[in-house]
Amino acid sequence: MANTLFDAPVAGQSLTAEVGARPWQQPAQYSTVEDAFEYYATKITDPKVNESLLDALEMGTPVSSISEILVQSGAMEGKHTIDVSILLLPVIMELIAYVADESGVDYNMGLTPTIDQDKISESKIALSVSKLKNKMPDNIIEETEPTMEPEVMSEENLEPSGLMSRRM
């Protein structure tokens, strides 16, 4: 979570380029959702173009992530505005799923979050450790520390104990 919090541009970074220099600062190429959807529909349904898309689906990339990347790159290229991209998202997801169904590719829509049962988060480990520390008083911890005392071996114990050994 901490990584995503700081995964953002530096304050004032948008002012380092001239206004209008970026594609998304220009008027959008497709101003309506109909036009923008036409643009994506022709791209996604084109068998020459969608090979890499189907490869990504086969590798397990969720449909939701692919469609997010698609519309985000469209907005960054100045094809349409970011509002249009959010409006287009569900329809593009459905279109990608349709193309995958048609070509017989198994895919993950990415609607249900996958929880790895074997993976224990670091916060849970830290919480359980702190609970354990609170439960254990200090004197118990001191008592449990092993004390190494040198054992005095008596001479009686030194007798050989093997089957073939001779008694002294």
25 touching another protein, by CB under 8 A: no
Runs of H (alpha helix) within 46-137 = 51-58, 63-76, 82-102, 122-135
Question: What is the rounded CA–CA span in Å between residue 76 and residue 16?
Answer: 17
Nearest distance in Å: CB 42, another protein: 14
By CB under 8 A, tell whether 56 contacts another protein: no
- Of these, 54, 56, 67, 79, which contacts another protein (CB under 8 A)? 67
Would you tell me how many other CB atoms lie within 10 Å of the CB of residue 21? Answer: 9
Site for another protein in 3-22 (CB under 8 A): 4
CA distance 118 to 166: 58
Q: Cβ(40)–Cβ(70) under 8 Å?
A: yes
For another protein, the closer CB: 57 or 95: 95
> Residues 104-143 vs another protein: string with x where CB under 8 A?
-----xxx--------------------------------
Closest C-alpha among 42, 21, 34, 19 to residue 84:
34
Where on the chain is the footprint of another protein (CB under 8 A)?
Answer: 4, 24, 33-34, 37, 64-65, 67-68, 71-72, 75-76, 82, 85-91, 93-95, 97-98, 101-102, 109-111
